[in-house]
Structure 1
Amino acid sequence: MSYTAESISVLKGLEPVRHRPGMYTRTDHPLHIIQEVIDNAADEALGGFCTRIGVILHRDGSATVQDDGRGIPVEIHPVEGVPTVEVVYTQLHAGGKFNKNDGTSAYRFSGGLHGVGVSVTNALSTRLEVEVVRNGGRFQVAFAGGNVIEPLARVGDAPKRASGTRVRAWPDPQFFDSPNIPQAELERLLRSKAVLLPGLEISLATEAGETKTWRFENGMQQYLAEQVDGELAGPIFTGEKYAAAGDENFPTGSGAAWALCWSTDGNLARESYVNLIPTPAGGTHETGLRQATFDAVKSFAEHHALLPKGIKLAAEDVFSRVSFVLAARVLDPSFQGQTKERLNSRDAVALVSRMLRDPLELWLNEHPDEAKKITELAIKAAQARSRAGQKVEKRKQSGVAILPGKLSDCQSEDINRNELFLVEGDSAGGSAKSGRDKEVQAILPLRGKVLNTWEVEPGSLFANREVHDIAVALGIDPHLPDASDSVLENLRYGKVVIMTDADVDGSHIRVLLCTLFYRHFPKLIEHGHLYFAQPPLYRLDVPAQGKKRPPRKLYALDDVERTALLDRLQIEGIKPESVAISRFKGLGEMNPEQLWETTMSPDTRRLMRVRLPQESEAKPVMNMLMAKNESAGRRAWMETNGALIGAEI
């Protein structure tokens, strides 16, 4: 098979979205592409330009979203030469959300900073109609499959002060597992917008005549009180705090609003948002909330001498009975994936923690009786954790296995907290040992490439020293996929983290380790114990800005995040050319402090959990990639898919 210039495909416009919709949105149902339209209307409300949002579900599967915001501009775009509304709906990286230098922009703290919002809605719809009211006129334009089919036209007059946008989209069923928009999930989404934007009226109507309306004057507190069904240890603590102009640490206007409480029993309610976007998978803003609550409660307990002798509080003890609603405002947020279900922005940890801790500490001291109840809950959780750790210690002492000499073990015996890092090379292993949290983090350095164990029988597995050391450190034996869960009874670590360089050799070692765990320790993956570390590629050295702003070191996971950091620094008045950018060749280049801050600290690191795929899908692929007699199949696969992988990279 020839590999020439003609082999490389270049997708134009919205073709990439239609070619691979899963890279841009959820494909189980069309709610997410409708949510993109709703988010635009909510961003208008966040900027103070919108008071009502209405959503209609039609019998034919389409949905309409209407707001009384400013209306999308209809003037000719100065660069593209076509109406601006057409640019917004036909180009991936277009919109007011990129105007980060404008401190008054409604989109300064928008959640749509990937720039692929409503253009994806357009690409994955059989038809999309937009009606804009502004400047005394009513304008309409229609699209199909991402292309303009009815050019923008003025269809009538409107009152001078009237403005707004109405969008009706017909999702294309070929791109979704189910063509139906789940109404219950849509209702939760709309209600959350009303909770986060007090005073905004949001309605949902169906053509069957059903209508629901939400409007919360006292948003988060009222909402959280309805969600928590257990007995509260005290009143709900609400507040908000944002960085003022001239703040030395955070962009103006960034910060958080929150409502949180402790309950003695019942179900917990936990919801978080970034710039109005729901983050069901949490992220760094929730880490900041967790850190602030831990610091505040621990400070109160120590100040009032409430801790029993021998009890050491941990963050999970304080947070175990917390329910919360958190709404963070983050400039230029970085999400995991286009569906924005988890926030990755490192600075959100310090942002939320800094904004929340002092108000919470003040509140605890103003409510000492309730604060003591909250502290008692944390102490009970710590005592239960201590008892569980003692049980683990007995099991450990009854074993006869001798731990590998190169293993730097942790002090804790609590499996739920313990972490084992499998580190590539002695150099990185040395930095990891020096920079780790010795209480809960263990380090096992790996020398050289791990054996390809795909075709190795379990009886011969321990002939390889590296594999033997990994198994002994974990405390579990090789097993088959259909083994009982009891094979994990003696597991010594709740998280097993593969930490390798971000280069070809590192990727190879990661594949070999995944092969080992998938082939011989599948229950470890099935129960969610295996993770990949994600060390940064770049370090940005930011010069000092006067006496109050010392030099800083920032880290970027990839090229996209590096660009975002440079944009943010430019807003702060720092010229890009004054920022020194260096690329890490490997983990061994990092000193212990850098490795801890970027890759190992639970507050700032990024871990990717490894999931167990269907055996019918994964086993043939793994056999083709790892079996010794499958070289011809591997070559054919690479010839077929090589260009595609290169294009994605």
Structure 2
Amino acid sequence: MSTARYDESSIRVLKGLEPVRQRPGMYTRTDNPLHIVQEVIDNAADEALAGFGHRIAVTLHADGSVSVEDDGRGIPVGEHPEEHAPVVELVFTRLHAGGKFNKADGGAYAFSGGLHGVGVSVTNALSGRLEVTVWRDGGEYRIVFADGAVVEPLRQVGAVGKRRSGTRVRAWPDARYFDQAQIPLGELEHALRSKAVLLPGTRVTLTLEKSGQQREWHYEAGLKGYLSEALAGTEPLVPLFAGQQYAAEDDEQYALGEGAQWVLAWTAEGAVVRESYVNLIATPAGGTHESGLREGLFTAVKSFAELHNLLPKGIRLLPEDVFARASFVLSAKVLDPQFQGQIKERLNSRDAVRLVGGFVRNALELWLHANVEYGKRLAELAIGQAQARTRAARKVEKRKGSGVAVLPGKLTDCESSDAARTEVFLVEGDSAGGSAKMGRDKEFQAILPLRGKILNAWEVERDRLFANNEIHDISVAIGVDPHAPGQDVDLSGLRYGRICILSDADVDGAHIQVLLLTLFLRHFPRLIEAGHVYIARPPLFRVDVPAAGKRPARKLYCLDQLELDAVQEKLRGEGVREGAWRISRFKGLGEMNAEQLWDTTLNPDTRRLARVRHGDTGRPDSVRMFDMLMARGEANQRRSWLEEKGNLAELDV
């Protein structure tokens, strides 16, 4: 038995920037230092977005350091009224300190990508040395950090003209925190070029000190010129559709200035180009603003086709038919964007679907009706895509009623048989299954309720699996037989492109997830390898925020306590009175009505769905780990392991 001590002295409280240095992967990408440099670039871009800067200069120095300089207002250097330390010092040494929280009463940044106030403090925490120079109010100021701590306090080092302002940050990323110390030049250039595109009139430069090379980007034509260049001469079917729309002061739904700018091109062949941004932050994983763009395009083209009687009998248009050959650059402005994770790869703000979708739909409908010939070409393109999709779906016949297998009676199937679109939710319990059946999109979403916790299948022989009714139903429903790792298995009978595990957001739900993942890993490994298995992530909390000013009443959903804390902090920053909002905790999926379940967990535009990645589970150490965790005879090993590692867990009891 382990003699490791666990008492009051075992609890360690991380202070300052220690959490970042202990778990850098929670705050940034750790494959290379590009993202911590982008945090500084994004701050410079926010100054330009706010109208206070017109130049961003990035230099890769010969000693491995990177500097970013702008001509914005300069980070304030005076003493903070509450913290009694220079503001520039707080920005780089305190998590959740920044100028992006105050959105009310003309705050420093009405629209910005920075939300959490952790960006440049993460840059500082993961740099061996960081120097900041500020030009502001006629003075030049300098402060230096090493390993996240101040080593040269802020001091004025000179005087400058009253009109000179800006900030220069020079960082030496610490190689210990990254898989490789080299910044990928191509990705950096792409990020800088996009800033120039999205900030008309801003001049962006990159200097390579070692080779003496310099690149400069300055796009007068904005998004339109950028997309034309990116398509590399591919001839679009119709002229580029460009537009922009932002909420006016009398808008009752959205805050002043919220909206989007876009440019779209439809091509018959070649690769499509798709880039989206929110408040100048690149969102390579897309999100709700892209969903709004897709919905707006689909609705406009569909209504045009119906108005002109262009749809052949029996053909039903879907959003992907209109979107399949569309290239776009989308730049959205959202007052309080909700991103997925600190690295902001995906936008999760639900309002962005209506915001972007509504503006794009109105603009495209006007454009189509003013250019009927172009509208007919787009409709023909979409109809051709729909016909090709329909032909492909007919080749993959459903096995229902074929005699090969009778589908489980408790399976509520979907209408479509196109495995590229369909998905099945393995739902914990009949109660949640009932809500899911009512809330789903029956065209492409199927529901298979599971009664209780399924069998731990880690040590079950393959020929005895079907003795368990739940496992039998899962296998028959998805259309794939159990198989061994490395076995060549035919997936042509797969009936659903996504197999989604949907369980409560609590400990019991996590246990059901583990049991189902064990089943798929042990007996259906090809499904995981091919990327067909997902985990749906329902929220644990709902925050009801009352109407305030122009903002209507809102319902905000949070996955966990961490997100709840962040949402409450944001509401305080918005000026919402403490205690005005109400917090509800979902005890289980059964407590959600059909509409809530659709909004949070089933709707492809607003849900959180995590794909299960396949590691090298054939390695002996991996097999030993799963044996220890899941095998019946390893209780003593599990107990020892929990005693040793249990203090690392963050429990929600």
TM-score (norm 2): 0.95
Alpha-carbon distance in 2 for matches of 1:48, 1:549: 25
| Alignment pair present for 1:345 and 2:374 | no
Structure 1 runs not aligned, ≥5 long: none
CA-to-aligned-CA distance 1:328-375 (integer Å, 9 cap, x gap): 112222222221111122222122112211011111111111111111
- In structure 2, give the amino acid aligned to 1:262: W
Secondary structure at 1:231 match in 2: coil
Secondary structure at 1:488 match in 2: coil
- Cα separation, partners in 2 of 1:556 and 1:250, compared to 1, 3 Å: farther
CA-to-aligned-CA distance 1:311-333 (integer Å, 9 cap, x gap): 00011111100100011112222
Structure 2 runs not aligned, ≥5 long: none
Alpha-carbon distance in 2 for matches of 1:24, 1:563: 16
Secondary structure at 1:629 match in 2: helix
1:288 aligned residue: 292
Aligned residue pair count: 646
Residues 231 and 265, structure 1, Cα contact 8 Å, conserved in 2: no
1:491 aligned to which of 490, 494, 507: 494
1:634 aligned residue: 638
Alpha-carbon distance in 2 for matches of 1:95, 1:543: 26
CA-to-aligned-CA distance 1:19-61 (integer Å, 9 cap, x gap): 1111111111111111111111000000000011101111111
* 1:487 Cα deviation from its structure 2 partner: 2.1
Secondary structure at 2:90 match in 1: helix
1:188 aligned to which of 176, 187, 190: 190
Alpha-carbon distance in 2 for matches of 1:251, 1:563: 24
| Alignment pair present for 1:532 and 2:535 | yes
- In structure 1, give the amino acid aligned to 2:221: N
1:459 aligned residue: 463
CA-to-aligned-CA distance 1:169-210 (integer Å, 9 cap, x gap): 111111111111111111001000000001100000111210
1:447 aligned residue: 451
1:123 aligned residue: 125
| Alignment pair present for 1:63 and 2:66 | yes
- Cα separation, partners in 2 of 1:619 and 1:236, compared to 1, 3 Å: farther
| Alignment pair present for 1:176 and 2:178 | yes
TM-score (norm 1): 0.96
| Alignment pair present for 1:316 and 2:323 | no
- In structure 2, give the amino acid aligned to 1:630: E
Alpha-carbon distance in 2 for matches of 1:110, 1:619: 46
Secondary structure at 1:487 match in 2: coil
- In structure 2, give the amino acid aligned to 1:370: Y
Secondary structure at 1:48 match in 2: coil
Alpha-carbon distance in 1 for matches of 2:178, 2:75: 28
- In structure 2, give the amino acid aligned to 1:215: H
Secondary structure at 1:393 match in 2: coil
* 1:409 Cα deviation from its structure 2 partner: 0.7
| Alignment pair present for 1:589 and 2:591 | yes
* 1:648 Cα deviation from its structure 2 partner: 10
* 1:558 Cα deviation from its structure 2 partner: 3.4
* 1:545 Cα deviation from its structure 2 partner: 7.2
Alpha-carbon distance in 2 for matches of 1:306, 1:481: 50
- Cα separation, partners in 2 of 1:117 and 1:9, compared to 1, 3 Å: same
Alpha-carbon distance in 2 for matches of 1:543, 1:147: 41
- In structure 1, give the amino acid aligned to 2:356: V
Percent identity of paired positions between Structure 1 and Structure 2 = 63
| Alignment pair present for 1:132 and 2:134 | yes
Alpha-carbon distance in 1 for matches of 2:119, 2:556: 28
1:606 aligned residue: 608
Residues 272 and 326, structure 1, Cα contact 8 Å, conserved in 2: yes
Residues 231 and 266, structure 1, Cα contact 8 Å, conserved in 2: no
* 1:647 Cα deviation from its structure 2 partner: 7.8
1:75 aligned to which of 62, 73, 78: 78
Secondary structure at 2:134 match in 1: strand
2:92 aligned residue: 89
Alpha-carbon distance in 2 for matches of 1:413, 1:110: 43
Alpha-carbon distance in 2 for matches of 1:201, 1:266: 31
| Alignment pair present for 1:14 and 2:17 | yes
Aligned positions of 1:298-447 closer than 5 A: 298-393=302-397, 398=402, 400-447=404-451
Secondary structure at 1:188 match in 2: helix
- In structure 2, give the amino acid aligned to 1:391: K
Kindly report the root-mean-square deviation, in angstroms, between the aligned alpha carbons of the 2 structures.
2.0
CA-to-aligned-CA distance 1:533-555 (integer Å, 9 cap, x gap): 11122334455679x98765443
CA-to-aligned-CA distance 1:148-182 (integer Å, 9 cap, x gap): 01111111110011101111111111111111111
Alpha-carbon distance in 2 for matches of 1:391, 1:257: 40
Aligned positions of 1:96-245 closer than 5 A: 96-103=99-106, 105=108, 107-207=109-209, 208-229=211-232, 230-245=234-249
Secondary structure at 1:260 match in 2: strand
Secondary structure at 2:628 match in 1: helix
| Alignment pair present for 1:53 and 2:60 | no
